[in-house]
Amino acid sequence: MQQLTSENREEWEKPEYWNKICEHLSVEDDSQEAKYVSDDAFWSHSQNYKTDLLSKGYALVDQSLPNAIVVALKDGVEKLVEASYPASFIFLFDETWHLARYSRRLLEKSTSNPFHYDLLAWYIDEGGFSPHRDRQPEDVASSFHPDGEAKFATHWIALTPATTSNSCLYMIPKDHDPGYTKGDEDEKDPLSLALPNKEAFQRIRAMPRDSGQSILFTHRIIHWGSIKDPEATPRAAISFVCSDPSFEKPYVDPAYFTDARLPPFSIRLLLVCAQLIIYHQRFQLSKSMLKACFELCKSMEDKLEKTYWHKVAFEYVEAMKEDAQTNELDESEEEEMMELMLKAEQSGYGEYSDDYDEGSNEIENGADAEDDDFSDEEEGALLFRTADGCDDNDTEGSVASEKHRKRQRTK
């Protein structure tokens, strides 16, 4: 299968390109109303989920989502991965949005927050991911409603069995996490504070799930995934999010996804490309695919919420800077980076110049020595902070500062 590049954009911008990869899934006309199957039994425990989210920071959803959709999406993820595409391209298909209807209804019944567009899908065939929180706001208290309910929550759905052998989620409950509500202390490792002694490790909760079962958890819960056993089968999962707009606005117009309509294919593709850029380190995209994704996002910039667009542009520059450590940028790429940096600084989002200059000097000198002076405690703390202070979601990957991200690559 020809890979996604700028040169073949006319092909992959069309639904037919993706239907050839996942022939069992559909991408209907934008205006077609979507089928929705109501199942009152599935929502019957939503009040219990709300209670668990308040007390624990997470809630186990044991009722399974429709098996036919789950199996179809699992097969779709496997076909995408086989074609060398990230699993998140599953969001191009109607069936994913049928599942999103169930997720949205569950999130709205279990929280006070509307549906959001921070969407991700995962296929874990090797490593797990580091302990992290999904959001690190400067004012943690403001990320909760007056009654203590979180303003941001994730619905994580297992498309295959998620076991202790193939990287199920692990969490530390709210009542054993000092930084959950009040925030994390600078230069202190939140994980060490939550697990101060050997006995405290008994507080860790493993979250195995059967296919179709799921977990709700807030933006403040510390969670991670173990490294998959080499003999275990890979696991696939998908996640949807809700967020109060006062905390984080939806990435695209909410009107695209209603009870009567699925998002247009162009918006689905835009969201996937933007998310892949935001999470570029986790997905390890080729430079050609990264550039193709960004060019599409740039051409549809007006469709993205303003802060989110700046975030996408920021992460694209970060990805290009990382690539420049091993591959020389051509003149047009350098000009594009400088233009994006300038626009970001003019809009008050991100400060690149000094960091980029320092990075360039490091590349020329062939050294990265300045990143070798972190203590173990400082490195642990950096996992829970972002480079620019913005709220990065990393549902299955560590959130780190730029210095820490560069150091991780040398290990």
Q: Concatenated DSSP letters for 166-217?
A: TT-EEEE-GGG-THHHH-PPTTS-HHHHHS-SGGGGGG-EEE-B-TT-EEEE
Q: How far is CA 324 from CA 110, 179, 304, 333, in A?
A: 45, 36, 27, 10
pLDDT of residue 344: 62
Q: Are 219 and 152 in contact (CB under 8 A)?
A: yes
d(CA 204, CA 192) in angstroms, rounded, equals: 12
| pLDDT value of position 44 | 76
Q: What is the predicted pLDDT for the residue at 271?
A: 98
301: which DSSP letter?
G
Residue-by-residue pLDDT tens, the chain, 411 positions: 458 888 999 999 999 999 999 999 999 865 556 565 566 666 778 899 999 999 999 999 999 999 999 999 999 999 999 999 999 999 999 999 999 999 999 999 999 999 999 999 999 987 778 899 999 999 999 999 999 999 999 999 999 999 999 999 999 999 999 999 999 987 788 999 999 999 999 999 999 999 999 999 999 999 999 888 999 999 999 999 999 999 999 999 999 998 889 999 999 999 999 999 998 888 878 888 999 999 999 999 999 999 999 999 989 988 888 766 666 666 676 666 666 666 666 566 655 443 333 333 332 333 333 333 334 444 444 445 443 333 334 544 433 333 333 333 222
C-alpha angle with apex 398: 187 to 133, nearest 5 degrees?
70
| Residue/partner pairs of 139-142 with CB below 8 Å, 24 or more apart | 140/181, 140/182, 140/183, 140/220, 141/181, 141/182, 141/183, 142/247
Angle formed by the axes of helices 331-346 and 353-365, to 10°?
A: 150
For residue 363, the model assigns a pLDDT of 29
Residues 182, 188: contact at Cβ < 8 Å? no
Give pLDDT, residue 28.
81
Work out whether the CA dihedral 304, 306, 308, 312 comes out positive or negative.
positive
Secondary structure (3-state) at 126: coil
The CATH number given to 9-409 is 2.60.120.620
In this prediction, residue 381 carries a pLDDT of 46
Largest CA distance in the chain: 63
Domain ranges of the chain: 9-409
Location of structure tokens 């949005």 = 97
- Within 10 angstroms of residue 264's Cβ, the number of other Cβ atoms is 15
Residue 385 and residue 381: Cα distance in Å, rounded? Answer: 7
pTM of the model: 0.84
Q: Given strand 235-243, what is the order of strands in its sheet?
A: 58-61, 214-218, 152-158, 235-243, 120-124
